[in-house]
Amino acid sequence: NVHLDKENNKCTASYPIIGETGEFKYNEWQATRIAESLEKSLAKSGDLEAYNIEVKDFIDRGVIGPVTRSEISQFKAEGGIISFISHHSVNRPDKATSKIRIVTNSSLKNSGRGPSPNSVWPKGPNQLKSMLQIFLRFRLYEVAMHYDLTKMYHTVQTGKQEKFMRLMVWRCGDKANDWTILGFNTVTF
């Protein structure tokens, strides 16, 4: 379900649904409670500003975008599935640029009991190779090439179905602001 649009020079992907989706409920409350806890934890550790910078970077690069409640209502009225996921930070002090990374949890059980987006999507193949296999293959060639695919997966666009099944909440800006609903426009790692 990955397609290359040569005319627009972009790659798109869709996630086929293979599981039962009838038990998904509107779980914004669940995502908000988890985000409140994350916000307190980041403020306590002094990492809240860095996390907000990463969220802003996601928005600026088009990885995520604001979603209105009317868009959610319209998509639900069209028979679409709505599900909120959680997110958290991973500290990476060894990295030169992003010391904090946003990690999403598409395995969050909807309303604590229901299915998760990951449970209704098929698992992809394991692309990780053993180190022995990598070293042996590397030694077969005279010339070696190294490249970095950092943030590559954020360039693969997804559709409305994937966006509304991976909604999240975060305060975009000042703490006094209300929670903003954000939806993913791209594949996440």
The mean pLDDT of 15-34, rounded to a whole number, is: 94
| 30-39, 77-86, 171-180: segment of lowest average pLDDT | 171-180
Mean pLDDT, the chain, integer: 88
Q: pLDDT at position 183, please?
A: 97
Model confidence over 54-91: pLDDT tens digits?
Answer: 999 999 999 999 999 999 999 999 999 999 999 999 98
Q: Distance between CA atoms of 108 and 120, rounded to whole angstroms?
A: 12
CA-based nearest residue to 183, from 69, 78, 101, 90 = 69
Best CA proximity match to 167, nearest among 38, 35, 23: 35
pLDDT by residue (tens digit) across 176-188? 678 999 999 998 8
* DSSP string covering 9-54: TEEEE-----S--TT----HHHHHHHHHHHHHHHHHHT-HHHHHHH
The distance of Cα 116 from the centroid of its chain, to the nearest Å, equals 14
